[in-house]
Amino acid sequence: MALISWNDNFSVNNALIDSQHKKLVTLVNELHDSMKAGKGKDALAKTFYELINYTKEHFETEERMMQKVNFSGYATHKKEHDTLTKEVLDLKEKFDAGKTMLSIEVLNFLKNWLTVHILDTDKQYADFI
Ligand SMILES: [Fe+2]
Ligand SMILES: [Fe+2]
């Protein structure tokens, strides 16, 4: 079973952002599946890096959209993106150094990291874009 199941609750009523969120969900699910299948570190790293890179691209898209409409919550939202980015880069550093494995705890962290942000913070701009 997928770690995260997409449902309409996740929608921010914007096709581009929804498609990016879906891709992020897919990447976390893929990482989870690879981990469960006992894939090696290189295979896990590939998906994990893709998740990190795509997150960067996604945050930039959202930030551009919010700036375009002068969204009042921009600064707070941007700060949360920066914190989330730092958290995942810290995790990457530990992973690369062999100090952490992609365990179910780490996958649950990524699940919450992504879903809480979409369901709470991202939803706040939904009416403005
Ligand atoms: Fe988002
Ligand atoms: Fe966001």
104-113 pLDDT, tens digit per residue, is 999 999 999 9
| Statement: residue 128 has pLDDT above 90 | no
Residue in the structure block whose two tokens are 């913070």: 121
> What DSSP letter does each residue of 32-74 carry, written as one string?
HHHHHTT--HHHHHHHHHHHHHHHHHHHHHHHHHHHHTT-TTH
Range of the domain at 104: 14-125
Which residues have CB less than 5 Å away from ligand 1 (the ion)? Answer: 122
Cα 42 to ligand 2 centroid, rounded to whole Å = 29
**Into how many domains does the chain fold?**
1
pLDDT-wise least confident of 45-54, 64-73, 120-129 = 120-129
50-78 pLDDT, tens digit per residue, is 999 999 999 999 999 999 999 999 999 99
Instruction: Please check whether residue 5 lies inside any domain of the structure.
Output: no
User: 3-class SS at 5?
Assistant: coil
Instruction: Please check whether residue 3 lies inside any domain of the structure.
Output: no
Instruction: Please check whether residue 90 lies inside any domain of the structure.
Output: yes
Residues 6+ apart with CB under 8 A from 70: none
For residue 36, count other CB atoms closer than 10 A to its CB.
12
